[in-house]
A and B are shown apart, each in its own frame.
Chain A
Amino acid sequence: MTQPKAAADATARDSLAADGDAPAAALGDVWALLDSLPSARVSTDLMATTVEMAAVPARAGGGTPGATSGGPAPATSVGGFALPAWLPAAAVVFAALVGGLVAGRASSPNPDQAVLQNLPCIEHFELLREAGSVAFLEEVARRGYPAPRRPPPARSPVDVQADAEQFDAAIASLRAADVAATDRETVAARRDLVLRMVDSRRRQLEKAVESYQRLAPSDRRELLAVGRALADPKREQLLEAARRWHQWVRMRDPADRRDVIDLGTEDRLEWLDRWTRLDANRDQMRENMRENGRPFFEREWENRRRTGGGDPRDRGPELRPGPSRPGPGPSQGQGQTPRGPGDKRP
């Protein structure tokens, strides 16, 4: 097919497809080429591993078993009678159901026991998730990263102060709650607390619980360990590390913070190394640029003017240091427009 013909066909098909035809019309001749792509050959154990992976969290969470099915189960013998192998399991499930019903009636509504046992940490999910892991905080403390030299962009000192106070308040609240306590009285008190919560706070807690439950078991353990570490007054150095990391995370735009928080320990440390280095270099660069309180490029222009080289700002934007500013500068306001690629001026 020649190119002009293909282009004409494409135009025709575009107009056809724009009228609401199927995607096949939109893709035109490319559609047929895609037929050459093969179907995937799925590994033989994919189904088994998928079903097993689904089953594990379900069992751990006390939910419906993910999947177990198969051929006839072997029989088991009790007191000389042959019983189906599923009978003990069925008895356990039945007992659990009865137990659940009894417990449910005794304390309805009944927030999840595991959630109540870890309520202080789950309430501060975002803070603890941001802190990451104990290993990470220990490494931050060991490396002794400096605080950011400037406040976060587009934030006033008042905002920064409010943020620091919020962080301190969260830590104080974490410490006030007995994080490690899981005895019945404590859990009952926490249940009452949840039931008395105002709607907004309860919704916030529900979101935190959802996020917590989405974590892998190892991540949950890590989160709880961080909670216990930060609540421990004997581990102030970890709290300082968490505060320092918090300050650095807040330097990023809100949209980017989640990405930084989701990094693993090594990547976080790399990120901190890079940003602390950049921060330090920026100050050094600024310092290098100044002499007698003036930026170096001002001196450069002055020298050039003195030696007859003219003002470099008149030679085009590429010689101008720093970001270009909107509107005419001190030597630009003479009716000249910025030069574009088609500009034939000498």
Chain B
Amino acid sequence: MAAESSVTPAAADPSTALMLRVRDGDALAFEQLVGLWQDRLVTLFLHHTGDHATAEDLAQEVFLRVYRARATYQPTAKFTTWVHTIANNVASDLRQRSYRRREHGVPANVSASSSAIGLEQLAVAASGMMPARVADRTELQAIVQQALGTLNERQRMAVLLAKFEHCSYEEIAAAMDLSVPAVKSLLFRARDQLREAIAPYMQEGRP
């Protein structure tokens, strides 16, 4: 059966091939898979949540879900799409938990609060951080990260999948369980919102 699977186009993907070995009980393959994906996932979640510890926790949760589902894994699609779907679900679960905690009057965690930066607050922060005409890279990072924080969760995930995982519209749509037009719309709105959020910096830093 493994031989049959290995000839499918999806299995030509290195991650898919590793996952097939994980499914067959190869412990070393799981380590290799984690090694292959941990930087990417932690980066994705870092920019999604704005908090490094939370990002590592979420990446770990993705790997655990991958491992738990190994027995049922079928290489019908690229492993990349599968793992992005899991990553989106994990991020969504985090959002639900933060929402529940807020709903029930429990203080939200760092990651949830990091995304709740208002535009006005951001503008003040940005202008305060830009006394000189040219900002250095660290400041720019902070501003872009803050601007990302103004997006809603789905917009942010779509932007990050596009930028850091080089996903096409179709891949983002598959991972987020949306239609392609919906993804396009998400990205357009994200772009407009990011522009608006970064505008104070553009005006102050680069007249």
Binding site for B on A (CB under 8 A): 1, 6, 10, 14, 17-18, 20, 22-24, 26-31, 33-34, 36-40, 42-43, 46-47, 49-51, 53-55, 57-58, 64-69, 259-260, 262-263, 267, 270-271, 274
Contact = CB atoms under 8 A, between A and B. Distances in A.
Given A54-B30, A274-B105, 11 more contacts: A10-B192, A23-B172, A23-B187, A26-B188, A27-B190, A30-B195, A37-B144, A51-B31, A54-B67, A64-B70, A260-B104
Contacts of A50: 34, 38, 59-60, 63-64
Contacts of A17: 184, 187-188
A66 B187 contact: no
Given A6-B195, A267-B104, A27 B38 contact: no
B18 interface: no
A281 B158 CA distance: 45
Contact of B198 (A20, A24, A30, A54): A30
Interface in B142-160: 144-145, 148, 158-159
Contacts of B46: 40
A58 B96 CA distance: 27
Interface of B: 25, 27-28, 30-31, 34-35, 38-39, 42-43, 46-47, 52, 55-56, 59-60, 63-64, 67-68, 70, 96, 100-101, 103-106, 137, 140-141, 144-145, 148, 158-159, 162-163, 167-169, 172, 183-184, 187-188, 190-192, 194-195, 198, 202
B181 to A, nearest CB: 9
A34 B31 CA distance: 30
A66 B162 contact: no
Contacts, number: 133
Nearest to A274: B105
A43 B35 CA distance: 12
Contacts of B145: 37
Contact of A36 (B35, B68, B137): B137
Contacts of A37: 47, 141, 144-145, 148
A65 B105 contact: no
Contacts of A23: 158, 162-163, 167-169, 172, 183, 187
B109 to A, nearest CB: 14
A29 B103 CA distance: 37
Contacts of A53: 60, 64
